[in-house]
Copies of this chain bind each other. A is one copy, B any other.
Amino acid sequence: MHNPQLNKHGELQHLLTIEGLPKSIIYHILDTASSFVSISDREVKKVPLLRGKSVFNLFFENSTRTRTTFEIASKRLSADVINLNIAASSTSKGESLLDTIDNLAAMHADMFVVRHATSGAPFLIAKHLNDTRQHHVHVVNAGDGRHAHPTQGLLDMYTIRHYKKDFNNLTVAIVGDVLHSRVARSDIHALTTLGVPEVRVIGPRTLLPGGLEQMGVRVFHDMNEGLKGVDVIIMLRLQNERMSGALLPSAQEYFKSYGLTPERLELAKPDAIVMHPGPMNRGVEIDSAVADGPQAVILPQVTFGIAVRMAVMSIVAGNSGGDA
């Protein structure tokens, strides 16, 4: 199916996934974010780019943290923000997803930031808006099922570029529960698009999906092997529900095999950076000594995340809709 995130001029009208996104658009987002990083340091942290625009945070799945980052980004762009926790709303009255979308679009919404437990929901929404010529509404995917979390992927790229300057000579390792991680998927697409020569994935067989090699990724089950000589380590959060399930023996066992300890970190390059999308499970996937250590860039990721979301929102809002 045609990807509806680009308009007929090849510009970004929705952000749904990093898969298939041209390198030039990724760079444009990172460069735009760069200009917003300094705004957040100023006394008055607002720019009027989205003044008078109505941004709807449509969270069909609860996520206070992600919703907050988008809410802040929207307000720093001077948009009006409406938070809708849709689980508690019309869907409980039996209204269909697309009726809800049409209804909100009819209120002259300018943007939907969508979080949904079902993979593909933001795609479905964007396609419907395009099909029904409701081109004034832009969709930003804030995480859908196991599919994609593109703004997280982009802020990870921003962070890597910030510390490593470019992507040409890097070895990047993604560690943990890749199977259930939309973050991992978005990171892999971004890293390969940007030309990172070696992307590694490290995890137990039960938590890695098939087909990773076809995505251009090297697979490791032994963490010590996988960390050797890497420049960037992206730790994934281990969902609580996995720890007691059939996929893993226990959190302690997991930490023994895949927890990032100071000793293991020494296997990476001396200037390697450690990333984590948060929230962290200290003592499960990451040791506190690493999380709070000098190589961790986990809090800068959060800071850059605001700027990246401001960039994405201002870019899609500036591109008129309309399919090829």
Closest beta carbon of chain B to A104's beta carbon, Å: 7
Bound-complex Cα distance A85 to B281 (A): 21
A78-100 contact mask (Cβ, 8 Å, vs B): 1 or 0: 00101011101110011110011
A103-145 contact mask (Cβ, 8 Å, vs B): 1 or 0: 1111110000000000000000000000000000000000000
A279 touches B54 (CB 8 A): no
What B residues does A62 contact at CB under 8 A? 88
Closest beta carbon of chain B to A290's beta carbon, Å: 14
Bound-complex Cα distance A12 to B88 (A): 34
Could you say how many copies of this chain the assembly holds?
3
Bound-complex Cα distance A72 to B53 (A): 10
Closest beta carbon of chain B to A292's beta carbon, Å: 9
Determine which of B64, B95, B108, B299 lies in contact with A90 in the assembled complex, contact meaning CB atoms within 8 Å.
B64
B43 touches A106 (CB 8 A): no
Chain B residue nearest to A85 in the complex (CB): B64
Determine which of B40, B41, B54, B94 lies in contact with A45 in the assembled complex, contact meaning CB atoms within 8 Å.
B54
A72 touches B82 (CB 8 A): yes
A58-89 contact mask (Cβ, 8 Å, vs B): 1 or 0: 00001011001101100110001010111011
What B residues does A174 contact at CB under 8 A? none
Cβ of A23 within 8 Å of any chain B Cβ, yes or no, is no
Bound-complex Cα distance A69 to B102 (A): 14
Q: Which 5 A-B pairs have the closest CB atoms?
A: A44-B52, A64-B89, A95-B279, A106-B302, A106-B299
* Selected A-B contacts with CB under 8 Å, 21 pairs: A41-B108, A46-B52, A62-B88, A64-B84, A64-B86, A64-B89, A65-B89, A69-B107, A72-B80, A72-B107, A75-B80, A90-B279, A94-B240, A95-B278, A96-B282, A99-B278, A102-B299, A103-B278, A103-B279, A106-B299, A108-B303
- Residues of chain A having any CB pair with chain B under 8 Å: 40-46, 51-54, 62, 64-65, 68-69, 71-72, 75-76, 80, 82, 84-86, 88-90, 93-96, 99-100, 102-108, 240, 278-282, 299-300, 302-303, 305-306
